Structure 1
């Protein structure tokens, strides 16, 4: 996404400055969604929503992936890293003193008087995507978040490539962990339920109840992963990087939710 046009006007501002496009971005900032869901949330005609989604896709802020549950559907995903870079470049183009620096790393310790948010990651088999998310969330959040994962149809073991990626790329050992059956009431329930596969989302959304449901439409790296050893492992590397990026952006929202809950007690 180029930084500015010939007049020096930041293209990021021009891209996101339209009121409807901004509303679409705010909806997609929380969860991957389908067109009809976006239409309902912004209360605008589908042809208008589709046009502005196309503009955002051309600008590189939004991508679309075909649903693995219903191939007639697509999920739209907001690239928050690109948004962060666009915002930072826009600020510094106005004045160098407005340059945005990196956030300090989160503390791994949790104060005893702070309410810890709880997060449950869900996919169908609990053998690849959700264990990856659980592991990287625990690594990034430390004791600040209570995190777990489960499957709607758990398999008999964690996929070897998932364990290998975590061990080699993140220094995390999940040896001995086995897939778990989904139970939304376990441990008193969860503040946030994040589905990582389209089929699990359909199943969980019918029984999510009070849980804050977020969807990440992440392709299953285990699909045809065994057909090519090298190609299969690359799929897991890509899925882990995608999940880690999403976890990094999810964490600050969990902190905000915790602060709000404490302030209202």
Structure 2
């Protein structure tokens, strides 16, 4: 029987662009059966989501206005059943922070084509880049949903 995945943590660098969007998309898709949170490895603690991220959220029917940046902690990582990161460096940093989470840390783009598993940081890039990266995040989440549904009866 598959292991239930109820607590999902999404990480990026600042918890300002990528992870807030991914968190909101996963929360909407999975509903109340899952506890989805986001944090940053070098978070902009207390800061709202980037304005382009908020704008894209509105276009997708998501309200990110209440989001505030949070720093990942050892406790937060250890509580997660699944940790999704944006790139390989973040995977290594997360596993170094909490070695006991090895085996639960995956790239958000894990199931995308082999040439696109990492999701680049849109910070200090154009609005079009933010949109393209947001689309990349949406596509990556779509690849996770069937896998998560099989694990969560």
Matching of residues 124-143 of structure 1 within 5 Å = 124-143=13-32
Which residue of the partner structure matches residue 112 of structure 2? none
The question of 1:153 aligning with 2:42 is answered yes
Partner Cα separation in structure 2 for residue 210 and residue 187 of structure 1: 7
The question of 1:253 aligning with 2:143 is answered no
Cα root mean square deviation, aligned: 2.0
Matching of residues 1-265 of structure 1 within 5 Å = 117-155=6-44, 156-168=47-59, 170-186=60-76, 189-206=79-96, 207-210=98-101, 212-215=104-107, 216=109, 217-222=118-123, 224-225=124-125, 232-259=126-153
Task: Tell me the TM-score normalised to structure 1 length.
Answer: 0.48
Number of residue pairs matched by the alignment: 137
The ranges of structure 1 where at least 4 consecutive aligned residues each deviate by more than 6 angstroms after the TM superposition are none
**Matched position secondary structure for 1:120:** strand
Q: Is the 8 A contact 2:9 2:77 kept in 1?
A: no
- Select the structure that is richer in helix: 1
Partner Cα separation in structure 1 for residue 151 and residue 84 of structure 2: 15
Q: Radius of gyration: which is bigger? A: 1
CA, structure 1 residues 188+195, in 2 after alignment: closer, same or farther (shift >3 Å)? closer
Q: How far apart are 1:141 and its partner, in Å?
A: 1.4
Partner Cα separation in structure 2 for residue 149 and residue 182 of structure 1: 8
Q: Is the 8 A contact 2:39 2:70 kept in 1?
A: yes
Q: How far apart are 1:184 and its partner, in Å?
A: 4.3
**Any stretches of 5+ residues in structure 1 without a counterpart?**
1-114, 226-231, 260-265
Which one has more relative contact order, counting CA pairs under 8 Å at least 6 apart?
2
Partner Cα separation in structure 1 for residue 61 and residue 91 of structure 2: 29
Partner Cα separation in structure 2 for residue 184 and residue 258 of structure 1: 25
CA, structure 1 residues 148+208, in 2 after alignment: closer, same or farther (shift >3 Å)? farther
Partner Cα separation in structure 1 for residue 37 and residue 24 of structure 2: 9
**Any stretches of 5+ residues in structure 2 without a counterpart?**
110-117
